[in-house]
Amino acid sequence: MIGLFNKTLTIKRSVEVSDGQGGWVKQYQDIGQVRGRISAASIAERTAAAQEHAEVSHVVFCDANADIKRGDLVTDGRITIKIIGVRNPSQADHHLECPGVEIQNE
């Protein structure tokens, strides 16, 4: 699996920053990079997500030590995925599978 991590992925996390007027706004800031892969979700993954009333369009695969959490954005510079979950298959600490939804750039 590690050999299939063919992209450098940037992880972005939501943080609150001052709006300059006494309030706070949420923004995504880069928190790091990791080697990984973004793949289109299979029919089985999409069906399983739908049964849980969730939408999944892609799955991000990365090293088990990656600092990635639900709500993060992951991009390879071409596509951006909002992570809706983080799984450690079989609790093997080999890699993470992170289902998510593609975010369309405006």
Render pLDDT for 69-88 as a digit per residue (tens, 0 to 9).
999 999 999 999 999 999 99
Residue type at position 93: D
- Rounded to 5 degrees, what angle do the CA atoms 4, 9, 11 make? 135
pLDDT for 47: 78
Fold classified for 2-103: Thrombin, subunit H (2.40.10)
Question: Of 50, 76, 48, which is closest to residue 61 (Cα–Cα)?
Answer: 76
> Is the pLDDT score of 4 beyond 90?
no
Q: Model confidence at 30, in pLDDT bands (50, 70, 90)?
A: very high
> Tokens in use for 86?
């983080």
Length, in residues, of the chain: 106
**DSSP strand pairing (73-75 vs 7-18):** antiparallel
Domain boundaries, the chain: 2-103
Render pLDDT for 32-64 as a digit per residue (tens, 0 to 9).
999 999 998 877 777 777 777 778 899 999 998
Render pLDDT for 93-105 as a digit per residue (tens, 0 to 9).
889 999 999 998 7
Tell me the pLDDT of the chain averaged across its residues. 88
pLDDT for 2: 57
Taking a C-beta distance cutoff of 8 angstroms, is the pair 33, 11 a contact? yes
pLDDT for 99: 94
